[in-house]
Amino acid sequence: MRLILIGPMASGKSTLGRRLSNRLQVDFIDIDKEVEKSAGVSISWIFDVEGEEKFRERESKELLKNIDKDNCVIATGGGVVLSEVNRNILKKGTVIYLETSIQTQVERTINDKERPLLQESSNKEQTLIELKKIRDPLFEECANITIKETKNSHNEVVEEIIKQLNLK
Ligand code: S3P
């Protein structure tokens, strides 16, 4: 089993991914955290000092490094689908797209200091809308299942994913 969570920033990939992995008793791998671990610095630092392109290289490298692990849930960063190479790598797992509204993303990132693409922006909502236009078709292309945003609790969403995947 290899489940991969994709979706925009603040769609809950890390939070739900961890819960899903606990529920299924498999490992949890967070690609953003793997990037930070192997670089020894934060994602903000990488964007500031090395730039986005270098971050994308690091992100692809960590995805490739972790993709063959079995019995795991993998949470990705929101920009992982931008690269065609990454999109092909994602095919090695069952891809779950967490569809999330702009409003929810704005609410959840209002005090965020860790997402460089939003820190650099004077209008977060506009930035999120622009990213969505480019990325939504890519998320859809990669997804095996799509989980639409609801007011349900994390546990309920986890159960919904399990149901849709026909897992027990
Ligand atoms: C990014 C999303 C972030 C992180 C980096 C770039 C993006 O991950 O990878 O800041 O391009 O959308 P989250 O989706 O977990 O916020």
Query: Can you give the pLDDT of all 168 residues of the chain as single tens digits?
Result: 999 999 999 999 999 999 999 999 999 999 999 999 999 999 999 999 999 999 999 999 999 999 999 999 999 999 999 999 999 999 999 999 999 999 999 999 998 889 999 988 889 999 999 999 999 999 999 999 999 999 999 999 999 999 999 886
pTM (2 decimals)? 0.97
Residue 120 neighbours by CB under 8 Å, 6+ apart: none
Local structure of 65: helix, strand or coil: helix
What's the confidence (pLDDT) of residue 120? 82
Residue nearest to atom 11 of ligand 1 (CA): 79
For the chain, the C-alpha Rg in angstroms (whole number) is: 15
Domains and CATH numbers, the chain: 2-164 (3.40.50.300)
What's the confidence (pLDDT) of residue 166? 87
What's the confidence (pLDDT) of residue 168? 62
Quote the ligand 1 centre to 23 CA distance (angstroms): 25
Which long-range CB contacts under 8 A does 50-57 form with residues at least 24 apart? 52/116, 52/117, 56/82, 56/83
Quote the ligand 1 centre to 88 CA distance (angstroms): 19
Report which ligand 1 atom has the smallest distance to the Cα of 44. 10
